[in-house]
Structure 1
Amino acid sequence: MAILTQGDFDDPEDRATGLTRAAAGGPLRLRTLVVLRWLAVVGQTGALIVVAAMLDFPLPTLAVSIAILASALMNLALHLVYPASKRLSDKEASLYLAYDVLQLAALLYLTGGLQNPFSFLILVPVTISATILELGLTIGLGALALACITTLSVFHLPLPWRGVPFNLDPIYMVGIWTSLVLGMVFIVTYAWRVAAEARRLSMAVAATKDALAKEQRLSALGALAAAAAHELGTPLATIAIVVRELADDLGQSPHADDLTILQTQTKRCRDILSQLSRRPEDMRDTTFSVLPLTALMEAAASPHLRREIEFQLVADGDGPEPQLYRSPEIVHGLGNLVENAMRYAVDRVVMMVDWDAKEVTVAISDDGPGFPAEVLESLGEPYVTTRRGEGLGLGVFIAKTLIEHSGGNISFFNRVGRGAEVAIRWPRGILDIGDDRDPEQTTAPAEGRETR
């Protein structure tokens, strides 16, 4: 049986911090870069054969072959020393890519410098770095590439060419240098921003799944408790009967006191099992229990209430109150929103629950300072936080994701005067299962109901 520890109840944003650190440790497999280098070796070898053998251009074939062979030998050494599944740290990956920059610079030096039409390939390692490494290492690799490009613009062997050596006008060479530098800055910036956003979103989704898994584990624990109470009831009843019959048969035996203790403890066990199987608030924690809408709202809000903040749940619906399964997505999503409201409220948080034949609406409002204007439009996106200087900004994102997963629509706005409000709407047909249940089990309308 799985045991829930205190760590299972931590803030999902703390867990996301761990995800962030883990992702930073080894984002790329060595095999990926080895395969890319083999492709480069094949391409460089093919170019050497075409230029030297087919076009018959004068070329320092031996020096170029040594530079290509060095990459091939390094790949073979890495394949023999490390397993294919090895993941590189950021520093290891940056050193690996730095070698590629220097190897390409050596080849370009031997084949015409920036006049070589393949000189743009020196940007490839820097672009790869922008997608997998942290910004500081990418800037360092970009500085190395810039130094190589600048050196190659001045120092290089002639471009392989028939007849008179081919030399471009110096002004044109400056244009090539400028285009490579600007291209590197643009490509690296764009690639880094896109990759960083993808990583952040991936970690945020992982945190959302983790939060939902925690809620499902709690639900499973409640279901397990109810099942255990049911299964243990029969053997415990048998024990109670046997103990009672022994007490009647033995009468004033020396073992009478022991039998009395057994009867007392058996009754206590039966009371505990009965409490587990019948207590409404425990039954609400089972995955398949059916609750009135207002009861589910209470279950979602209750773990996050604070003594110093007044909480009101006001229900005012049109027609019978919806009956719905206890959804972990709804419970955890609404719980995050109530917790956020409690954090900023001055005196009071109000949860308004409304329904009609077509729609179910829940509005959570507080009397705090409201949402900051600069983040209001982007609330619900990962890493957008309403806490100045605190948190990772995943709480609202997780709530929004879970509620939308349940079929709801969520919106954020500031109230006129003071305070923030979050409104959630579901089509009633998605939530309400009341029409499929026994009419005797359907809860009466809760119009005007208010709890404190």
Structure 2
Amino acid sequence: MSTAKPKMPGQTEARNNAASPQPVQSGLDRLDDATGLKNMLQLIQLRWIAVIGQLATIAIVQFGFGIQLPLDPMLKVLGGLVLFNVISLLRWRTQRKVSNSEMFFALLVDVAMLTAQLYLSGGATNPFTFLYLLQVALGAVLLQAWSVWAMVAITTACLVGVAIFGKPLALPLDLENGFSSPHMQGILVCFVLNAALLVTFITRISRNLRERDARLASLRQRAAEEEHIVRMGLLASGAAHELGTPLSTLAVILGDWQRMPPFTADPELQQEIGEMQAQVLRCKTIVSGILLSAGEARGESLTRTSICTFLDDLAEEWRSTRSVASFSYENGVLQDLPMVSDSALKQMIGNVLDNALEASPGWVGLKATRDADTLTLTVTDAGPGFAPGMLAHLGKPYQSSKGRTGGGLGLFLVVNVARTLGGSVTARNRSGGGAIVTITLPLAAITLGKNERHGS
């Protein structure tokens, strides 16, 4: 019988489709958007530097070298560049997607403004014509291939245009003076400016791209892990179906044995049969929990409870079904909240407790606390603690300290269940020996909302 999977309040459909490529694709889109926005803001910052640099250059050439420039049109072009940059800054203040065409257009505006200034200040004889190379270099980093080659063609055409139509300035032909020549000094300043801007901004842009690639790799790793969980879930679901019939058969046989005279006459056998029935019942409960998590159990089997009751029942059940010498349980959740008992959450906490018990059969501790909108569960043991390599790769599959083939899936499942709920899992070793595993869960993901509390 197949019915819709009952979901915990506050959960989204992403939990039911953990291995779907959609979250990875949407994550990639968000990364591209954020990286594109950062690069556009870098370009706006570069444009402000260009404005300041042009003002300084115009002042030095006009009043320092005594070379007459067409100040009025050059300042108008500079004013247009300032206006465009202000509009760009207002447009890109809020995060949004930056397309290749928009980045291409922004670079074209810079090329147009540079071309206008060169046209008014000597054409191709102006040493600052080398700034075209800066635009091409930025385009090579920021744009798609076709746009880069388009930028090469456009800047080449602009250079040819200012060489043919540019307005020459009355400059002394003193190149034989070496660096005493204003022209040679201009070339030197242009080279230093180009080199400094290229190193500064291409380094920043490359860092943005590397950060995006690193986050994308993390998303892909997460998708692979969640797909692995789905495959294991399908395997567990199939095994649960297969185990249902033999467990029921065992329960019937044990019930018959319990009523047979040879067994009823022997109290020791009666006790052993009772223990076997309890273990079969526990197996059936585990199988039912697997089917419930796989969405193959009826939603009516979910029960409304509260955080404190859920934790108290979980601790009591775990204590009664495990051979633990000493179990310390402390419920510090002062304000109780309604929730629905969820088998995945229960199994997640049980896995951490089981791992602690295996490392420390003598003592295991569980403490629950609430901090604002967060529930924190701390599991402590007195065992040997985690190896440094385990702590460095916490939650990765097949990272086992027990040396068993295929082991290490317990914490892997714990980490991924917590992550689908919007929480996290951390681990550390105690200074006096043993380990501490901390599970942090947002209350919004596990509690009932206001509408659900009132049955609406």
TM-score bracket, shorter-length normalisation = 0.3 to 0.5
The TM-score with structure 2 as length reference comes to 0.43
The TM-score with structure 1 as length reference comes to 0.43
